[in-house]
Chains A and B, each alone.
Chain A
Amino acid sequence: MINLSLNQVSFSYSDSPVLHHIDLVVERGEMVAVLGPNGSGKTTLIKLASGVLKPTEGEIHLDGSRLSRLKRREVAQRVAVVPQQFNMPFAFTLREVVLLGRTPFLRAFSDEGKEDHRVVQQAIALIGIEELKERFFNELSGGERQKAILAMALAQEPKLLLLDEPTAHLDINHQGEILDLVKSLNREQGLTVIGAMHDLNLAALYFDRLIFLKEGRIFADGPPAEVLTEETIREVFSASVQVMQHPTTKVPHVVITPKGSSG
């Protein structure tokens, strides 16, 4: 079943084109990473899929409906986004932040009901942050906040979860934790996941399908073992690397070698 499809999608910010004629189909339950250097258009692709940006050309379909025809609220009932980080100017508790995930389900003139609290509680339990729920969001560590945002996204009961470099600001222990959680949501809840990723190795370890963007075009698309190669990295990132095998999972693992080193 197709969850998201992009048909000849192009996007430009005023005069500067970012994406060129992207064709892409993501099936329900897939876990897809979008990779590429800064400026290659990964974040733009995520924003287009979330509907906050509209394609300059082409069409995006979500579960068969044209994304541009859906109201923001209807999109948010199906698609949740976890960005790099959220800044919170006021002292909301973690539970209050997760409750914000119910925003697309509330009527204009009413507050949340029992069902909303049940969904929030479930999302908090699923992410395993019950002991933090009355703490202030601003006082949590970066990893804890990202978990809270993930729980908020789950409270939207989405069909599609979009990640925009969700681990960019985290220490290595939290990077693994967050991606483990995302992966279990994908495996156990059947949630479709599309993530713009900065770290090639994390992407290869956690995602089943990697899409490499180069200057706004898809350069390679496939399982890590097929597309994460020395040649892809050379072409997409203009970097010379060696690709080895992860000792346990056997997926490709990228290493760089400093200039002047000899082996």
Chain B
Amino acid sequence: MFTRLKQNHRLLVLVVLGAILLLCLLIAAALGSESISPIDIAKNTLNKMALTNFSLSPAWEDRNHEIILFQIRLPRVVAGALVGAALAVAGVLFQGLLRNPMADPYIIGTSAGAAFGATIAMVLPLSVALLGFGLVPIAAFFGALGAVFLVYNLARVGGKTPIVSMLLAGFAVSAMLIAVMFFMVTLSGRTELIHTVYSFLMGSISVSGWNQIAIIAPLIIGGIILARFFAFRLNAFSLGEEGARYLGIDVEREKLLILGLGSLLTAAAVSISGLVGFVGLVVPHAVRLVLGPDHRLLLPAAALAGGAFLVLADLFARTMLSPREIPLGILTALIGAPFFIYLLRRTRREYAF
């Protein structure tokens, strides 16, 4: 047993995690089919922000590092950090609200709901022309929200959401949505979309340049900041819905807001990465183990740790079998699924509801 961090140490923890995230970003931006010196990356990024005016190394000029870094690698690495942070925070929100350490956006079907919405947006030819990428996250949000409420209501037994019924409902809703997605694509007759949907389901960070990030980043960063405002009430939810009510919480309203926020974060992540599972399970659990369950620290810490985790995972996904790429969702599932099984075995003993 270890004693808890004092209030003023919380900030220190977040600063350290922030530094780790930056380091991961730097390493991931440096490595790839073409290595770029981390010093060059740091210099050039500062130059770009018009903070400094460093001179550039010869390798930078000769080998197109400018384009590789700023047009290809950095957008992907930043997108990875955003996706990881969003999924980890969505996991914390769902777990805290449902008092269920197994509630991950992928496992409870929120991600599939988002993918379903995104697919509709991609299949409709008119919409793409009208709104471009902007429609995908919107449709993904409504898909995620719909899936959350469907799973939640299916899993609800006598005012509680037991682990097993939630996992079953999540599995069933995911399976159904994915089937309908392929059915829609088949009906649309656009065979090229089958490949798109397929790679969407396997999950990979796919961004071209900064345009998509410009839409997604404010959603995710804003969502995480908003989530932090629910921290104290999420702590109260750990006494159960009735306990939370006794403590003065308008349970129905808060539930709607928190599930909505979790859906928003999931949808924003899914619209640039497809289905990347288990991040919302592994990261919050690890952070909780080290820093404790207080959501005031857990939420921002999980965001930073989730970002770092996914940046590294994506780095492995694209370099391990280079030049081939392992789909990111496959990699996180390879790490996360055994961990999930371990949790499921252990949970049966430790958590009574």
Contact = CB atoms under 8 A, between A and B. Distances in A.
A83 B242 contact: yes
Interface in B194-253: 229, 231-233, 235-236, 238-240, 242-243, 245-250
Q: Is the interface of B mostly helix, strand, loop or mixed?
A: loop
Contacts of A75: 248
Contact of B288 (A71, A90, A106): A90
A80 to B, nearest CB: 7
A50 B247 CA distance: 10
Interface string A230-251: 0000000000000000000000
Size bin of chain A's contact surface: 20 to 34
A93 B233 CA distance: 17
Interface in A45-104: 50, 52, 71-77, 80-81, 83, 86-93, 96, 100-101, 103-104
A81 B243 CA distance: 8
B247 A100 contact: yes
Contacts of B124: none
Given A89-B99, A91-B292, A92-B293, A72 B243 contact: no
Contacts of B238: 88-90, 92
A136 interface: yes
Contacts, number: 82
Interface in B297-353: 351-353
B24 to A, nearest CB: 27
A76 B232 contact: no
B3 interface: yes
A86 B239 contact: yes
Interface in B239-294: 239-240, 242-243, 245-250, 288, 292-294
B187 interface: no
11 contacts: A52-B245, A71-B250, A87-B240, A88-B238, A89-B100, A90-B101, A91-B288, A93-B292, A103-B233, A109-B229, A134-B3
10 shortest interchain CB distances as A-B pairs: A76-B248, A104-B248, A90-B293, A73-B248, A103-B247, A81-B246, A89-B99, A103-B236, A52-B245, A109-B229
Given A80-B246, A88-B238, A104-B248, 9 more contacts: A86-B240, A87-B353, A89-B353, A90-B293, A91-B293, A96-B294, A101-B247, A106-B232, A111-B232
